[in-house]
Each structure stands twice: as structure tokens, then as C-alpha cells.
Structure 1
Amino acid sequence: MTKSKSAIALLIGGGLTLGMGMMAFAGPDRDGTGDQEHAAFQAAPIGLAQAISTAESQSGGRAMSAEFETEDGSGVFEVELLAADGTEIEILVDASTGQVVIDHDDNDKMEEKD
């Protein structure tokens, strides 16, 4: 009976430690950049799903991941795709216009889009 009580206490203690660590990890940004990025994301007329769709149709690839970030004060979606030939492509979609701004292939060549 004492072993089971010890095991339960250990599990509860471990759970509390893990929970507190996760709360610290999810805390607010110390430098405030997250607030600016959140505001830019909320104000963007283009959503994540539309940015992924645009990147996939523009490249012919399939999205592996996507995230919102600010570059030079403007919101962009960075979409990473995998082309049919196995090439990894990174495309930036302007969050205000929905237009492809820049794309990168796996050799880090950049192509500006008009």
C-alpha cells in the first residue's frame, strides 16, 4: 500500500512540475514583438488557408508547413512546400494582398515576384 501511495505522489509531483514548466513556456513575450505580430495577423485580410492555397497553386507543390511573421513591418505567410520532384520550396505570401512576394528553392536561390 505504501508503494502505491509513493507512486501516486511521484506522478502528481511530476505532473505539477511539467504543468508549471508549460505555463512558463507559454508566457508573454518579454520584448513585445509577439504583440506587434499578433496585431498584424489580426489585421491581415488574407488568412493562413488562403496563403497555403496560393502557394500551392503558384508552385505546384504541396504545403508541409506555414507560419505568419512580419518582415520589414509587413505581414507575410512563409509557406514551405514539397515539389513533385522532391525539391523543398519556401514561398512568402503577402498577408495584405495575397500575392506571392518571394520564393526560395532548396538551393536558396531567390526569385522576386511582380
Structure 2
Amino acid sequence: MKRNIYLTALAALSATAIGSAYAAKAMENDALAIEAAKIGLTQAVTAAEQHVGGKASRAELEKHKGQWVFDVEVVTGKKVMDVKVDPANGKVIVATEDQTDHDDDHDQAD
């Protein structure tokens, strides 16, 4: 009887440990991290376009310096800007010119 209780407890602890490891890994997946965002991708794109005055060509949720951000690539004139938008409040964190998109030969670096 004690053996059955011991095995049941061991199984429950193992399941808890595996579930916790899965949950931690799930937050590393940007597709699953969107659940924690307070704004949607569309709102992030709009904020980035308005901030830079251009049109978005790409957008995704990614980890930047340990923090989840919407990374929006915005084209304005002949410049390509990388705009980071806070998923909690929709404010632009930083906008920098993307130097890798200047050569325009569409290689792996772009």
C-alpha cells in the first residue's frame, strides 16, 4: 500500500516538473508569448508606422535584450527602420535605421 502511495506521489511530482519545464519553454516561443501582450500586432504596426512616417514591411514579436517586443520593419523613403514597440502599452521603445537592408541584394543577412 505504501508503495502505491509512493509511486503515485512520484508520478505527480514528475508531472509537475515536466509541466513547469514545458511552461517555461512555451514562453520562449514567440507565437505563444503573444498571449501575454496587451496590444495586438496590428496596433504595434500602426504605432511604428506613425512614429517613423512610413509603411511596415515586416513585423513580429521577439525577445530583445531579455524583453518581449514587437519588432516592426518600416520603410520610409529610401530608409528601412527597425522599430521596437512595447507589447504592454503600444509605445515605441526605440527606432533605428537598419543598416543591413542597404545593399538590397536580398541575401541571408537581410
Scaled to the shorter chain, the TM-score interval is 0.5 to 0.7
Contact 1:64-1:81 within 8 A present in 2 as well: yes
Structure 1 runs (4+) deviating above 3 angstroms are none
Q: Sort the Cα spacing of 1:86 and 1:34 in 2 relative to 1 into closer, same or farther, 3 A.
A: farther
Aligned to 1:35: 26
Distance in 1 separating the partners of 2:62 and 2:50: 21
Q: Sort the Cα spacing of 1:106 and 1:40 in 2 relative to 1 into closer, same or farther, 3 A.
A: closer
Q: Sort the Cα spacing of 1:40 and 1:86 in 2 relative to 1 into closer, same or farther, 3 A.
A: same
Distance in 1 separating the partners of 2:94 and 2:41: 17
Matched residue SS, 1:80? strand
Counterpart of 2:26, as a letter, is D
- Which one of 63, 70, 73 corresponds to residue 56 of structure 2? 63
Counterpart of 1:68, as a letter, is L
Q: Sort the Cα spacing of 1:70 and 1:57 in 2 relative to 1 into closer, same or farther, 3 A.
A: same
Q: Sort the Cα spacing of 1:60 and 1:34 in 2 relative to 1 into closer, same or farther, 3 A.
A: farther
Distance in 2 separating the partners of 1:103 and 1:33: 30
Residue 51 (1) aligns with residue 44 (2): yes
Structure 1 residues not aligned, in runs of 5+: 1-31, 109-114
Structure 2 residues not aligned, in runs of 5+: 1-22, 101-110
Distance in 2 separating the partners of 1:57 and 1:79: 12
Say what the alpha-carbon RMSD is for the aligned residues: 2.4
Distance in 2 separating the partners of 1:107 and 1:49: 25
Aligned to 1:8: none
Percent identity over paired residues: 34
- Which one of 82, 89, 97 corresponds to residue 81 of structure 2? 89
Counterpart of 1:77, as a letter, is F
Alpha-carbon deviation of 1:69?
Answer: 0.9
Matched residue SS, 1:78? strand
